[in-house]
Structure 1
Amino acid sequence: MKVLLIIVLFLTLVTDSVLSLDEELLDPFGCNETLFDTKTCHRVSYDYYCTISRSTQDWFRELYNEALADGPRTRKEIRTLDDAERQAYIDAVVALKNDKSVWPNKYDAIAMIHTNRTICSVHKGTNFLGWHRVYLLIFEAALRQKNKNVALPYWASVIDNYMDNHPIPNNSVIFTDVFLGNSDGIVRTGPFKYWKDLENCTLQRSPNFNNSMRLMSPNIIDTIQNNLSVHHMKQIVYDENDDWTTLEGQHNHAHDWVGGMMSILDDSPRDPVFFLHHAFIDYTWTKFIRKQQKLFVEEEYESVGQDVKRHYPNRTMDCFYWLRNVDGLDPKLAANVIYEDSPECPDCGHSKYLKCDATFNICIPDDKTETAGTNRVYPLWQLHVCLLCSLFYHLFL
């Protein structure tokens, strides 16, 4: 009788485990499939394009004007925020998701800008940096409507190259419940757990357990920021080639490293890590501009790109109908944004999540299990195995 009971219980638990595994870790709806293939960009019209309603685009313009009129705000590396600052930022992001005064909600309305043919004109060319700077300002202005004290942090992902326990998302404090939630599959921990988008797809990331994806190269990012021989914009954006040494080429690595929705251009802003990542790209560009100023380099907008017509200076910015591509280089866009330098030794921004490696004089991630707790959520099948072992022990031993 005991043996029969064990068999029945085992079959029940295994069935439940398979179902729960499908629900919690897998993607049953094909939500990670590519929605728009940028390889087809050259086949579609070069005219202004935006899928967002004109009334919502007008709201974007209001946010843009607020961003320019707003007082100075300081963007910091997210691991250097204190607990209250980090929580205020997270609360503002969640508040946008819950605010349905703009369809479908304010967070997704902004995320939906970065979709379909719009992505043709904002990648692989000169417009990449300027358009995304405008995008960040609009997102930040929406956050500051929720909390005036909030500024958009940045994620200096180059630091995560130096993790002691291998540079994979599952080992980063960024992907714990006190920051952005787990990195392995559907996001089921942290402040954005089980977020749904307009297509009812659940927010998800792809684990990088085999370390096949790489983060941005610290050496290349340092070259862009500080090497005096690299001082023209055309040296750091795509031309006709997929150049991984450019800032855009390097930026692609973090998208793929996080994986899931972040690795798909149409979906990437649906994961809040997108805005932290692009804030670091903007920070790097800001450092590059400071270098130009020291060298008395006056930048002129030069159209380069794989689909160069979309990057022409006087072409209207997709979804930002009041701007031209060249406006992305206007110094007034950065006038009220102050970037705190990326953490450096010896204090590493006074972050409890970073420590100074005195040998190489660089800040490295602290072990997340010592500072924030692990993001590991054990699948139910593992718990069921433990339960079966316990039952076996009590019934037969």
Structure 2
Amino acid sequence: MNFIAFKRLVLSLLMLMFSQVNAQSIRKDYREMTDYEKTELVNAFYTIRSTTPDRITDMANFHMDFFNYDNIDPDVLDIHFNLPDEPEKEIFLAWHRRFIFEMEQVMQAINPRISIPFWDSSQDQSPSAALWDEDFMGSFNSNWGLGRRLGLYNDLPSPSNVSNLMLETDFFEFSDDFERQTPHSGAHRWVSGAMITSASPRDPVFYLHHAYIDKLWHDWEELHHTSFYLRNDMIRYDGTYVFGGETLPVVDPNDILDSRALGVFYAENELAELDNYIISNTYNDPEYFYYQYTIQAGANFVATPGSSAVIESVNEVVLQPGFLAQSGAELLVTIDDQSSSTLLAKSTSVSDKREVNPFDPVELEQVWLWSEGDVDPDDAVVIIKTFPNPFDSHITIKLDKKRDCVIEIYNMVGALIKQVVFEFTDTLEVKNLYGLAPGTYVIKVVDSHGKTLVVKKVIKM
């Protein structure tokens, strides 16, 4: 259907052009974004970070503060590693779904066409991929002091890792495996720096990675229809958390088992299918669905009386049987006729938005997450003792048995400070540490195959 036909499309709808809109979301692989979308997404991250109060820092700090309390206070609600032992506290997938939606809503207040894209780390695995270009995700590393070390751990998932995960039929087993195995943990470790810590939302790539995690959960739920939670509340989204004078809404995890409950759809292979959704303007008025390629609306996609929405493509919109616009709905279905000058062109005013604003490394709680669950239970390492802790000039780790391994010492921003190789021993002593500045460090023990055996936090006097 050509542009003129779209402009004349009525289908019993009230056609309305909106001067200011907020958007619902068609999320796509970042490789399907226009250059304009990429530029606007990057600019939005920089704008949000430079706004007072800083939402990116707030969200990262919350994730860090409530990451995992299992070994501190088991009665405190937290976000990670509640399965398999604490199913009554489990919120991992639903919490992150609402978390990235929160960031997306803030972005859409800046530009309604913005949606958080996803990074398919099972397919797109090169450190030189377009994801890391300086005019996309690359500039954040130096400007925000993220300490990325792409490929430090060769843990990105294979397509078979993903397909095997999708075969699991029990929701709690699926969620537990998902959280701990490479389809989720791999990207955190592979990117490293802030991403491998509990403060991972400091890195904008976190949101692209978790958009992919959310897509995989959406795909799994479409296959199995068995997601459920024992809880009916989630920390941050329990009606008590206030940011910038606004109390965040109450969210029951069981109310967002389907991404469409938030108006979120996932496009693939140049096709966005809008289905089984009622436009109700619960979050945004009007709702805005934008995609470069084909948007196909049908199969019980309904615009209700009094609702308003825009469906906009750069190329094509197809309305299929099952699409329903009820009397009194306001809906614009259109082709973006400005694509040649704006959507496919890179912004010419970028540098003024991309300020150097590194995070304070003192605030970074270095947890070295994603080590949990990585060790084969049949070959688990037992730390007999780490001493002295706090240490001064040397530190010793006693293991349960002799091994070939490497000790790596990292500072609080994820930089490798020292590395020592050991051959077939259960006593690992690192000497000559006088020169390290006082503070907290992380010691990691890696075997000869590159597998993480031990992660432990230590303090230098």
Instruction: Please say if residues 317 and 324 of structure 1, whose CA atoms lie closer than 8 Å, have aligned partners that are also in contact.
Output: yes
What's the counterpart of residue 99 of structure 1?
Answer: 51
In 1, Cα distance between equivalents of 2:226 and 2:185: 28
Letter in 2 for 1:277: H
CA distance in 2, matches of 1:83, 1:91: 12
In 2, distance between residues paired with 1:331 and 1:173?
Answer: 30
Quote how far apart the aligned CAs of 1:71 are. 5.1
Instruction: Give the deviation of 1:107 after TM superposition.
Output: 2.2
Sort the Cα spacing of 1:248 and 1:133 in 2 relative to 1 into closer, same or farther, 3 A.
farther
Aligned 1:62-101 pairs, distance under 5 A: 72-100=24-52
Give the Cα separation in 1 of the matches to 2:254 and 2:63: 19
Q: Distance in 1 between matches of 2:116 and 2:98?
A: 13
Counterpart of 1:319 (choices 229, 232, 236) is 236
| 1:146 positional shift | 1.0
CA distance in 1, matches of 2:150, 2:222: 36
RMSD (Å) for aligned C-alpha atoms: 2.9
Match of 1:224 in 2: 165
- For 2:228 and 2:22, how far apart are their aligned partners in 1? 27
In 2, the alpha carbon distance for the partners of 1:113 and 1:327 equals: 22
Answer yes or no: is the 8 Å Cα contact 1:85–1:150 preserved in 2. yes
**Structure 1 segments of 4 or more deviating over 4 A?**
none
Aligned in 2, Cα 1:174/1:326: closer, same or farther, shift over 3 Å?
closer
Residue deviations 1:55-97, cap 9 Å, x none?
A: xxxxxxxxxxxxxx96542001111111111111111111101
Q: 1:337 to 1:326 in 2, by over 3 A?
A: closer
1:271-330 Cα shifts (integer Å, max 9, x gaps): 1100000000000000011112xxxx44432xxxxxxxxxx514x422222346644644
Unmatched 5+ residue regions in structure 2? 1-20, 70-77, 84-89, 240-249, 272-291, 294-461
Does the Cα contact within 8 Å between 1:133 and 1:328 map onto a contact in 2? no
Q: In structure 2, what residue type is equivalent to 1:79?
A: R
Q: Secondary structure at the match of 1:134?
A: helix
The one-letter code matched in structure 2 to 1:340 is A
Aligned 8 A contact 1:206 1:260 in 2: yes
**Counterpart in 1 of 2:134?**
177
User: 1:321 is matched by which residue type in structure 2?
Assistant: D
Q: Tell me the residue number matched to 2:190.
A: 257
Q: Check the 8 A contact 1:261/1:270 in 2, yes or no.
A: yes
1:272 to 175, 184, 204: 204
- Residue type at the aligned position of 1:224: L
* Shift of residue 223, structure 1, vs aligned partner: 3.1
More helix by share: 1
Alignment of 1:204-243 (within 5 A): 204-208=147-151, 212-225=153-166, 227=167, 230-238=168-176, 243=177
Percent of residue pairs bearing the same amino acid type: 25
Amino acid at match of 2:143: W
Instruction: Indicate conservation of the 8 Å contact 1:134/1:328, yes or no.
Output: no
More strand per residue: 1 or 2? 2
> 2:221·2:258 contact (CA, 8 Å) conserved in 1?
no
How far the C-alpha of 1:116 sits from its partner, in A, is 2.0
Q: Say if 1:87 and 1:269 are closer, same or farther in 2 by CA, change over 3 A.
A: same
**Structure 1 letter corresponding to 2:265:** I
Q: Which amino acid aligns with 2:65?
A: N
Distance, in Å, in 1 between the alignment partners of 2:160 and 2:135 is 30
For residue 58 of structure 2, what is the amino acid of its counterpart?
Answer: A
- Between 1 and 2, higher relative CO (CA 8 Å, sep ≥ 6) is seen in 1
Rg (Cα) greater in structure: 2
Long gaps (5+) in structure 1: 1-68, 162-166, 182-189, 197-201, 302-311, 351-397
Q: Residues of 2 paired with 1:273 and 1:147: CA distance?
A: 19
**Structure 2 equivalent of residue 159 of structure 1:** 123
For residue 143 of structure 2, the aligned residue among 192, 195, 200 is 195
Deviation at 1:119, TM superposition (A): 4.1
Q: Which residue of 2 aligns with 1:146?
A: 110
